[in-house]
Amino acid sequence: MRRMKRPQGAFAISIALVAILGWIGSAPAQLYPSRPITMIVPYPAGGLFDALARILAEPMRGALAQTVVIENVGGAGGSIAVGRVARAAPDGYTVAIGSAEQFVVNAAIYSLPYDVVTDFEPVALLISGPILIVTKTAVPATNLKELMAWLKANHAQVVQGHNGSGGAQHLCGVDVMCPSPASSVAMVQSGLLRAYAVTEGTRLASAPDIPTVDEAGFPQLHISVWGGLFVPKGTPKSVIAKLNAAAATALADPAVRRQLANIGQEVVPREQQTPEALAAVQKADIEKWWPIIKAANIKAE
């Protein structure tokens, strides 16, 4: 009888060891996040995505119980910043906040050391909003149709302003500035710029006097700037779920929604704030813009 007890005891001990080792092995994922998270913004401070990141950082900190550190990494249309995220450890501590400019357009105009689809995991679709069509006040056109006619007649000497080759502001049109509302509404309202239209079917709450492109006679000119969170490929699903939940909590905050509305941005509905929805938007934009960019021979110049 004594000989029989020894293997039973050894078996019990082995089961206990397996359970303990299994718990230890799973502990890091259960404890995420255990240190600050860095959110990489692919633009200098002061623009739309810098503002978006800073609006979200504090409510996300509350949801994650960890500080969200904002780091601005500009250059090469945001590809430097996104490349850094692609090379980061897939542990949820380095997150990219970006748009179609970084995760769609750059792949068509730059030679990138990463793949905008296969090297990242989508986390959450955050916002979607239009851009504005504006000029300096010296331009004689008073509406969008007049502006288009003036541009055609003066294309040889008209200069276009934009924030990077191939970005949404660049793709908006020829020889016309198309900034985000966040960086231009105040200048329009103070009389420094003239606004012609909002590139979607509804007017901005922050600038209700600016007509839509539909009202201005160009309903085909809908261009939206979406924003989303991405992490490196291979990041655990449980970590992505925690980041997604924190982003959704932040976007549900009435104060956050007011701040975003003030800079002309609309929070997407809760059912669209998912990794799947972000992946679908990215895929749709790739199918739409890559052929246009290549046909127009747009280069990173």
Per-residue pLDDT tens for 138-177? Answer: 899 999 999 999 989 988 888 765 544 444 444 344 767 8
Write the pLDDT tens digit of every residue in 202-219: 998 888 999 999 999 999
More confident of the two residues 167 and 56: 56
Give pLDDT, residue 27: 45
CB atoms within 10 A of CB 15: 10
Give pLDDT, residue 23: 45
Give pLDDT, residue 119: 98
Res. 254 pLDDT band, cuts 50 70 90: very high
- The rounded mean pLDDT for the chain is 86
Choose which CATH entry (3.60.20.10, 3.30.200.20, 3.20.20.100, 3.40.190.150) describes domain 34-129+225-296: 3.40.190.150
The residue extents of the domains of the chain are: 34-129+225-296, 132-198
pTM as predicted = 0.78
CB atoms within 10 A of CB 296: 11
Write the pLDDT tens digit of every residue in 104-148: 999 999 999 999 999 999 999 999 888 899 998 889 999 999 999
| 132-198 matches 34-129+225-296 in CATH topology | yes
Say if residue 245's pLDDT is above 90.
yes
Choose which CATH entry (3.40.190.10, 3.30.70.120, 3.10.129.10, 3.90.480.10) describes domain 132-198: 3.40.190.10
Give pLDDT, residue 267: 95
Of the candidates 207, 195, 182, 189, the residue with the CA atom closest to the CA atom of residue 139: 195
**In this structure, is the dihedral angle defined by the CA atoms of residues 96, 98, 102 and 105, taken in order, positive or negative?**
positive
Q: Could you give the percent of the chain with pLDDT greater than 70?
A: 85
- Average pLDDT on 231-256 reads 98
